[in-house]
Chain A
Amino acid sequence: MESAIADIFSSASDLDAFRESVISLKGDFSFDSASMINLGTEYFKRYPDRFSNRNSDEVLLGYSVVRICIIERLLRQLPEDAKALYREIFSDVSAVEGAVKTLIDLFGYETMVSTFQKLSSELQSIKDTIDEIPRGMIKERFIGGISNLFNILYVLKMNIGAHEKA
């Protein structure tokens, strides 16, 4: 049975506990627009938004929650021995250059390119699902969250391009 990420968020004591629980699912959780809205609803119950004097830490935590879920969905199709490096890539843009070199050394350039294409396609598919969420603050957190992963994918493309054989 697929787990509900909203329930996992509600019962998690903090972001690290949430991350650990989500990682343990190996991407096997429902992530349709209803699940996203449920997660957003639980998040805003805990961290209500305000018009002025917004708590930036709580906003950033919302983006982190979204990114954890999306990263684990992206990585579910990858071999176990590549997951840690890709998790590092999507969590910290400064890790991209070194991780790409390691991944190419381990798996080869062609695999790197085909994995990039799979990740791009999956990320776009998740974005299409986010687009189904009605306009509002839940959607804002999901857009803010996924945006950085698109940015990192672009950096990944730039770095893979630098290794392209002449």
Chain B
Amino acid sequence: MADKKKVLIIDDDPAICDSVKAILDGNGFDTKIALSGKDGIEAFKNEKPDIVLCDMMMEHIDEGAKVAKVLKEANKDLPVFLLSSIGDATANNIGLSELGFNGVFQKPVNFDVLLSVIGRFIKK
């Protein structure tokens, strides 16, 4: 049996982390959780995820961007997606790729779309 692909969720809302993990694990992924940007960077080093889903606003309002930058410097091929709850402001007013993100999923997340997209990125 092939190893499960590993997804790292970085979000300071434990309820969101738990529900996203339930969905991803239920769809055949091995999901790891980090509740802060700092823990997320640590988990990235220890767990070596295949893909990262990262919230933007944590301890600092732009923490997700800082985390993405660190992760991309360590592994430029790692797919990192932003989970955003600040609406069009995120999608329209910031350069996602400049910040190190491969794309954005607007909360509430459409998981049919998310599963399809991360499936494609992981196969690459």
Contacts and interface: CB of A to CB of B under 8 A. Distances in A.
Interface of A: 51-54, 56, 59-60, 63, 67, 93-94, 96, 127, 135, 139-140, 143-144, 146-152, 154-155, 158
Instruction: Give the size category of B's interface with A.
Output: 20 to 34
Contacts of B22: 93-94, 96, 151, 155
A52 B13 contact: no
Given A56-B12, A67-B15, A93-B15, 15 more contacts: A54-B59, A54-B60, A56-B58, A59-B13, A60-B14, A93-B18, A143-B87, A144-B107, A147-B108, A148-B13, A148-B19, A152-B19, A154-B111, A155-B22, A158-B23
Contacts of B85: 140, 143-144, 147
Contacts of B86: 135, 139-140, 143
Query: Interface centre among B13, B15, B22, B26, by most A CB within 10 Å?
Result: B15
Query: Interface centre among B12, B19, B89, by most A CB within 10 Å?
Result: B19
A152 B13 CA distance: 14
Interface of B: 12-16, 18-20, 22-23, 26, 57-61, 85-89, 107-109, 111
Contact of A151 (B58, B59, B60, B108): B108
Contacts of B14: 60
B87 A139 contact: yes
Nearest to A133: B87
Nearest to B112: A154
27 contacts: A51-B60, A52-B59, A53-B59, A53-B60, A54-B59, A54-B60, A54-B61, A60-B12, A60-B14, A93-B22, A127-B108, A139-B86, A140-B85, A143-B87, A143-B108, A146-B108, A147-B16, A147-B107, A147-B108, A148-B13, A150-B108, A151-B16, A151-B19, A151-B108, A154-B23, A155-B22, A155-B23
